[in-house]
Amino acid sequence: MPYRRLPNTDAARMKALHTALQKGDDLSPLELAFPQKSYYRLRSFIPNYEAALLDYTRKKEAFSLQSRETHELFRKARLFLTHFIQVTFFAIQRGEIPENTLEYFGLDSHKTIPSLQSFEELVECGKRILDGEKTRIQEGKRPVTNPTAAVVKVRYEVFLDSYHSYSIHKKNKSLAQEKILSFRKEADRIIAGLWDNIETFFGDLPDTMRRQKASDYGITYVYRKNELRRMGSFSD
């Protein structure tokens, strides 16, 4: 015997809700297979659910666009910053600046370039390097060049602005997603309640007719794999 399957996507949930709502629009309360209060609940819930879905879609797209931009600016800022660190190491090797220069930048004496794999690592390392070079120059020490800290700072600050926007878009998307999860749970409760009422309303009918009537209200019935195999063997 087939069993009913609740929707598991937003589109399927919305279809089930709209199908039930349409029945409420078309039939009188006495003919309707679920309570009138459920009908009014549908009328108030569906627009809010649709608005939340639209809001989430927009914020998801905005975050995606911002993410692509920020990743590209991250790549460029990371390149300039690692080049600055490399030339610092080269200058130390050539004896142009002392090895204790690394202390200003918070780098170890093994001349290992930080991996800078994340936005947060780049933010922290960039600030440390630029602040260190500013202090060195204020103390009258020879600046690192090719690239200079000023050139690195331009790339770093452009990335930093983009990263700030990225963080805002990420938070907005997360909040909208949490809201959608709440709506999904409520939609599932509403649909399950409606379908219980509908099946009870047609409960005295023969199984095939009961499922047909319930299907008109949007209830989805599916056969199990073993049932489908048996049906296939009967048709042969």
- What tens digit of pLDDT does each residue of 76-135 get? 999 999 999 999 999 999 999 999 999 999 998 767 889 899 999 999 999 999 999 999
Domain membership of residue 145 as a residue range: 3-235
pLDDT at 153: 98
What mean pLDDT comes out for the span 61-83?
Answer: 98
Phi, psi of 94 (to 5 degrees): -80, -5
pTM score above 0.75: yes
Cβ-proximal residues to 169 (8 Å cutoff; 6+ apart), any chain: 59, 62, 63, 66, 67
Weakest mean pLDDT among 26-30, 48-52, 108-112, 212-216: 108-112
pLDDT at 110: 67
pLDDT at residue 2 is higher than 90 = no
Average pLDDT, the chain: 93
pLDDT at residue 233 is higher than 70 = no
Decide: 233 and 221 in contact? Cβ < 8 Å. no
Quickly state the pLDDT bin for 236 (edges 50, 70, 90): very low
**How many domains is the chain built from?**
1
Degrees to nearest 5, angle at CA 174 with 69 and 71:
15
Quickly state the pLDDT bin for 231 (edges 50, 70, 90): low
Helix, coil or strand: residue 138: helix
Q: Which residue has the tokens 């809700």?
A: 17
Q: How far, CA to CA in Å, does 122 sit from each of 68, 90, 94, 114, 133?
A: 17, 21, 27, 9, 16
